[in-house]
Structure 1
Amino acid sequence: MLFNSFVFLLAFLPAALALHGLAERYRPAWRLPVLVGLSFVFYGWWDPRFVPLLAASILLNWGIARAFLKAPRPWLIPGAIAGNLLVLALFKYLDFFADLADLLPGIDLARPGWVLPLGISFFTFHHIMYLTDLRAGRAPGFGLVKYALYIAFFPQVLAGPLVRWSEIMHQFDERPYARPDAAERVGRGLMLLTVGLAKKVFLGDPLAAYVNPVFQAAEAGRVVGAGEAWQAVLGFTFQIYFDFSGYTDMALGIALLFGVVLPQNFDVPYRATSLREFWRRWHMTLSRFLRDYLYIPMGGNRRGLGIQVGALFATMALGGLWHGAGLTFVAWGALHGLGLGAGTLWRRARLPMPALAGWTLTSLFVVLTWVLFRAGSFGGALRIYEGLLGLGPTGSGFKWRAIAAAALVAMVGPTAWTAVHRLPPRRGLAILFGLLFVVVLLKIGDDANYEFIYFQF
């Protein structure tokens, strides 16, 4: 059930809010179990076959956490983390490993072709964050219902944001509709939901027509012209931003309707003047996870420059692999690791970098590496790169209107979160957002309804 679908917006969400509101008012002790039940219904709507996987994942990890608190054996948490990663690898990377093995002479492994459970990367990382902090003595134990809600809370179970237990667990104990700012929170939640929907259907989805045909042609072996190559690459640059940041806005808005504040995930990333700043603004909760649970344990910046650069490269290469089971994703992550390493060396050398030059270099690097992220193979990526360099046929058109509109919105003004919280509560403003929501519904009913790009990760 997509956030940008009638069944969610006009059926599931109103029913969920009504059930949650009744429980919160008349049976507060039922509020969390109701949210857990709603989250499993939401998850099972996609494919009920994977509900047992999510339930078993929650039960096993919670049980291991309880066992560790009773008898903190040193192998228990590392074993649990390894088990989580093994399950992720079986579902997400088995075909990838089979393809790698087939590159060796004399080996011919069949691809298992397992269906990837939605959200498995995200809820696996949530388990890992909690278990790691538990082992370090930073996290306490929680009851099964609270832990299940932390993992399965439906606004963020499929594509994040990645939420630390310390950011959300205390909120589950509140009476959200008894707060003095409860009405304001609900209003801002509806505004965020509407803005996220508008970003998705008016800015992100139309760019698919600019992007998909060109990349599909490149994968089919057709030579790509310069105009259409730049159209596809710039189109994808803004398509993925509005698709994913729009989803995040919706997730944050929906969570607010249920009295939960989730962390922001985007902060105008295409304004960044360095690659390090870009990753502090793009998919911020993932960047934070990679920093705290991979980069720092590898040594970070505490063990010398060589270790730091190596840790940056390894962290980003693994981050690329997390995004997708393909060598193009690994290459995309590795290039970002090299770019971050080069930036570290530049700063260590105390060389100047004017803001405009930094923004230009960063933007060009990010745009060009998106090719590897979007392409289905190195061959398809190479044909796009050849087109970008003008090695393809001349005279290919360049559709620019939707790209220009998207670039203007992405580069100018505040984030949706900031804008929504700056707007004063006014009746006229509520009417405007209500009208925008109706227009979005009409657009959803009129056009193809695209899934969110990050659902495949």
Structure 2
Amino acid sequence: MLFNSYVFLLAFLPASLALHGLVAWVAPHWRLPLLVLLSFVFYGWWDVRFVPLLAGSILINWLVARAFGRSRIVWLIPTAITGNLALLGLFKYADFLIDLAGRISGAEPPTLGLALPLGISFFTFHHIMYLVDLRAGRAPSFGLIKYALYIAFFPQVLAGPLVRWSEIMHQFDERPYARPDAGERFGRGLVLLAVGLAKKVFLGDPLAAYVNPVFQAAAQGKAIAFGEAWQATLGFTFQIYFDFSGYTDMALGIALMFGLVLPQNFDVPYRAISLQDFWRRWHMTLSRFLRDYLYIPFGGNRHGLPRQVGALFATMALGGLWHGAGLTFLAWGALHGAGLGAGLLARRAGWRIPAPAGWLMTSLFVALTWVLFRATSFDAALAVYKGLIGLTPGVSEFKWRSIAIAALVATLGPTAWNAVHRLPPSRGLALGVAFLLVVILLKIGDDANYEFIYFKF
């Protein structure tokens, strides 16, 4: 059930909102159980086989948290975290490691072929954030319903944002529709949903036609000409931004309509003037997770410059591997770790790069490394890189119009969250959003619907 599908927009979401509003009015104590039920229905719509996995994961982690709260047995939390990571490793990395071992040894061991449960990386990280904070004494114990809703809340269970317990748990006790600004919050949530849909449907999806054929040709071993290579590289740079930030806007908007505020995940990242600035703006909730739960435990900036550079590299390399079970993802993360380390060394040396030059260097680095993220193999990435520097003979057309529009919106426009909250409520705004939603629905019916890129992670 995609956010950009008729079954979600015209059936599940309206029915869920109506039922939620009714329960919140006549039986508010049933509101949270209803949201848990709706979240499991949404998750099960993708593949009902994985509902027991999600439910069992929630129940076991909650039981461990309760047992730790009562006994303070020190090994409970590390054991639970290890179990969560082992489950993630089984589904996401087992075949990758088996294949890697086979390449090293020259053998051909059989792979497991397990289907990857949607959202497993995201709900695993939610468990880990809570358990780590519980062990550190920062998090209290919660009832099963609240904990289940924290993990499985349907707008963010598949692709984030990564929400800390401290950002949302206190909101579960509120009566969202009894607030004096309830109507305005609901309206702004609807506008966010419309804006996110527009970004996905009108900006992200059209770029797929610029990107997919080129990377498919590279994967087949074909030579990629100069124009094609730059078209695919720049196209994917903006496709992944509008695809993922559009999903985030939809998730935040839907959550707001249910009375819950999720954290922002993007802050115009393609305006960044350094790689450090980029990661403060791109997938912000993941960046904070990597900082607090990997970088700082690795030593952070507390044990000297060499340790700090190593911590940056290791954190980003693991962050790259989290995105996908492949050496290209590992290389992508490692390059960003090396880039962050180089930036740190430059700052320590007192080098000051003018903002325009910093923006150009950062934009070029990010775009070029996206090739590794998108390519299916190093050979495919190399074919694109050869084309980028003109080593491949032949001339090809560079389709630039959609890329130019996307680039202008991504670099000059405000974040959807800021724009929506600056707009004063008005009848004209309501009519404009209604018209936009109608156009989006017509567009969805006319074209193929693309899944969100981050659903694979």
- Scaled by the length of structure 1, the TM-score of the pair is 1.00
- Secondary structure of the corresponding residue to residue 376 of structure 2: coil
Shift in Å, 1:111: 1.6
Alignment of 1:243-282 (within 5 A): 243-282=243-282
Shift in Å, 1:107: 3.0
Aligned to 1:111: 111
Q: Give the whole-Å Cα distance in 2 for the aligned partners of 1:413 and 1:104.
A: 48
Q: Give the whole-Å Cα distance in 1 for the aligned partners of 2:157 and 2:104.
A: 38
1:152 aligns with 2:144: no
1:183 aligns with 2:221: no
Q: Give the whole-Å Cα distance in 1 for the aligned partners of 2:117 and 2:105.
A: 32
Aligned to 2:83: 83
Alignment of 1:376-415 (within 5 A): 376-415=376-415
Superimposed CA distance per residue, residues 57-99 of structure 1 (whole angstroms, 9 cap, x where no aligned partner): 0000000000000101111100000000000000000110011
Q: Give the whole-Å Cα distance in 1 for the aligned partners of 2:395 and 2:85.
A: 49
Letter matched to residue 83 of structure 1: G
Aligned to 1:26: 26
Q: Give the whole-Å Cα distance in 2 for the aligned partners of 1:406 and 1:221.
A: 29
Percent sequence identity over matched residues? Answer: 78
Superimposed CA distance per residue, residues 298-335 of structure 1 (whole angstroms, 9 cap, x where no aligned partner): 00001100010000000000000000000000000000
Aligned to 2:11: 11
1:309 aligns with 2:309: yes
Letter matched to residue 228 of structure 2: E
1:194 aligns with 2:186: no
Q: Give the whole-Å Cα distance in 2 for the aligned partners of 1:310 and 1:99.
A: 28
Structure 2: segments with no counterpart, 5+ residues: none
Shift in Å, 1:394: 2.8
Aligned to 2:364: 364
Shift in Å, 1:109: 1.0
Letter matched to residue 295 of structure 1: Y
Q: Give the whole-Å Cα distance in 2 for the aligned partners of 1:15 and 1:315.
A: 42
1:331 aligns with 2:316: no
Shift in Å, 1:282: 0.1
Superimposed CA distance per residue, residues 27-50 of structure 1 (whole angstroms, 9 cap, x where no aligned partner): 000000000000000000000000
- Secondary structure of the corresponding residue to residue 105 of structure 2: coil
Kindly tell me the number of residue pairs found equivalent between the two proteins. Answer: 457
Superimposed CA distance per residue, residues 209-241 of structure 1 (whole angstroms, 9 cap, x where no aligned partner): 000000000010000000000000000000000
Aligned to 1:227: 227
Letter matched to residue 67 of structure 1: A
Q: Give the whole-Å Cα distance in 1 for the aligned partners of 2:397 and 2:94.
A: 40
Q: Give the whole-Å Cα distance in 2 for the aligned partners of 1:413 and 1:453.
A: 22
- Secondary structure of the corresponding residue to residue 260 of structure 1: coil
Q: Give the whole-Å Cα distance in 2 for the aligned partners of 1:320 and 1:263.
A: 22
Letter matched to residue 390 of structure 1: G
Q: Give the whole-Å Cα distance in 1 for the aligned partners of 2:398 and 2:112.
A: 41
Shift in Å, 1:106: 4.9
Letter matched to residue 13 of structure 2: L
Alignment of 1:9-158 (within 5 A): 9-158=9-158
Superimposed CA distance per residue, residues 260-280 of structure 1 (whole angstroms, 9 cap, x where no aligned partner): 000000000000000000000
Superimposed CA distance per residue, residues 94-117 of structure 1 (whole angstroms, 9 cap, x where no aligned partner): 110011110123532112111000
Q: Give the whole-Å Cα distance in 2 for the aligned partners of 1:289 and 1:105.
A: 35
List structure 1 segments (4+ residues) > 4 angstroms apart after TM superposition. none
* Bigger shift: residues 110-119 or 48-57: 110-119
- Scaled by the length of structure 2, the TM-score of the pair is 1.00
- Secondary structure of the corresponding residue to residue 103 of structure 1: helix
Aligned to 1:320: 320
* Bigger shift: residues 108-117 or 376-385: 108-117
Shift in Å, 1:393: 2.2
Alignment of 1:201-212 (within 5 A): 201-212=201-212
Q: Give the whole-Å Cα distance in 1 for the aligned partners of 2:102 and 2:448.
A: 38
Aligned to 1:437: 437
Letter matched to residue 363 of structure 2: S
Q: Give the whole-Å Cα distance in 2 for the aligned partners of 1:251 and 1:143.
A: 24
1:354 aligns with 2:354: yes
Q: Give the whole-Å Cα distance in 2 for the aligned partners of 1:153 and 1:414.
A: 27
Q: Give the whole-Å Cα distance in 1 for the aligned partners of 2:61 and 2:184.
A: 36
- Secondary structure of the corresponding residue to residue 89 of structure 1: helix
Q: Give the whole-Å Cα distance in 1 for the aligned partners of 2:433 and 2:454.
A: 27
Aligned to 2:342: 342
* Bigger shift: residues 387-396 or 123-132: 387-396
**Cα RMSD (Å):** 0.5
Structure 1: segments with no counterpart, 5+ residues: none
Q: Give the whole-Å Cα distance in 2 for the aligned partners of 1:358 and 1:79.
A: 44
Shift in Å, 1:172: 0.4
Q: Give the whole-Å Cα distance in 1 for the aligned partners of 2:110 and 2:393.
A: 39
